């Protein structure tokens, strides 16, 4: 058999390479067609799961209601910063951590205040489950939950306020009264609940840990602490 010419050998090699490339392309296309789409990042997926309260029994309290919750007392008997954690600008990102919460049964102050450029619907993702739960507990008793402050990037609150990360919320309820509301907030699972009567008006201040929805903290005590001055809140 006569040996192939140089041109012939080149043609055979090119054909072989073409067939090999065809097999590679078919394999890539098959992998793309069958591969399960992945989220952009694990953080994005985790954030979506954390903001979804569908896996929780929101109508069921997670703690026993205290028998009493006097004015200017808080649960647990510790400073807010030691329970819910302090403000940390390096750990907080508004674009990543805040979610928009809405419920037509809730009265939102920012929806009725034309001079307020803040949005009371903006909350830290860790706040979603206890907030949704207290809405259900209040509505079950014929009340209307009122939200007066949630995320506040500036003004109103001090530099160490958890409102600056959306991890605190100020609530009232005319129908049930503030003592009952404070009890329900504690039963709903907020990490720190304070029945506050200060110059800003009486309300129930609630806050959560940054990882509240990941590791929900439990406290054995169900009795309010002794009266504490407003400076205990950070």
- pLDDT tens-digit readout, 61-89: 999 999 999 999 999 999 999 999 999 98
pLDDT at 27 over 70: no
* pLDDT recorded at residue 115: 76
Beta bridge partners of 99: 123
pTM of this structure = 0.71
Token pair, residue 188, equals 């709903």
| E strand intervals along the chain | 73-75, 98-100, 107-108, 122-124, 146-149, 168-172, 192-196, 203-207
Confidence of residue 35 (pLDDT cuts 50, 70, 90): very low
What are the structural domains of the chain? 55-232 (3.30.1380.10)
Percent of the chain with pLDDT over 70: 65
Residues 91-100 pLDDT 10s: 999 999 999 9
Task: Name the CA dihedral angle for 80, 81, 85, 91, rounded to a multiple of 10 degrees.
Answer: 130
């800003």: which residue's tokens?
200
Q: Which pair of structure tokens corresponds to residue 168?
A: 């605190």
pLDDT digits (tens, 9 = 90+) for 160-203: 899 999 999 999 999 999 999 999 999 999 999 999 998 778 99
Looking up tokens 């995320």 gives 151
pLDDT in tens, 178-189: 999 999 999 999
SS3 state of residue 192:
strand
55: its two tokens: 């896996």
Q: Which residues contact 228 (CB under 8 A, 6 or more apart)?
A: 72, 73, 74
């Amino acid at each position: 058999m006569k040996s192939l010419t140089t041109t012939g050998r080149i043609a055979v090699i090119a054909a072989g390479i073409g067939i090999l490339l065809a097999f590679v392309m078919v394999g890539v296309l098959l992998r793309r067609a069958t591969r399960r789409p992945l989220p952009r990042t694990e953080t994005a997926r985790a954030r979506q799961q954390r903001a979804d309260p569908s896996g929780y029994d929101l109508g069921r309290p997670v703690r026993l209601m205290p028998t009493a919750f006097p004015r200017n007392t808080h649960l647990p008997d510790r400073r807010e910063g030691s329970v819910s954690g302090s403000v940390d600008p390096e750990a907080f990102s508004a674009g990543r951590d805040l979610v928009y919460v809405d419920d037509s049964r809730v009265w939102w102050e920012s929806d009725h205040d034309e001079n307020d450029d803040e949005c009371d619907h903006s909350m830290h993702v860790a706040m979603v489950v206890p907030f949704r739960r207290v809405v259900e507990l209040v509505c079950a008793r014929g009340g209307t939950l009122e939200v007066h402050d949630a995320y506040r990037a500036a003004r109103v609150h001090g530099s160490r306020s958890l409102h600056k990360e959306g991890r605190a919320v100020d609530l009232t309820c005319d129908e049930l009264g503030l003592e009952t509301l404070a009890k329900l907030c504690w039963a709903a699972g907020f990490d720190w609940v304070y029945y506050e009567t200060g110059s800003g008006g009486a309300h129930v201040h609630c806050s959560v840990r940054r990882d509240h929805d990941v590791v929900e903290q439990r406290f054995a005590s169900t009795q309010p602490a002794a009266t504490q001055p407003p400076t205990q809140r950070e």
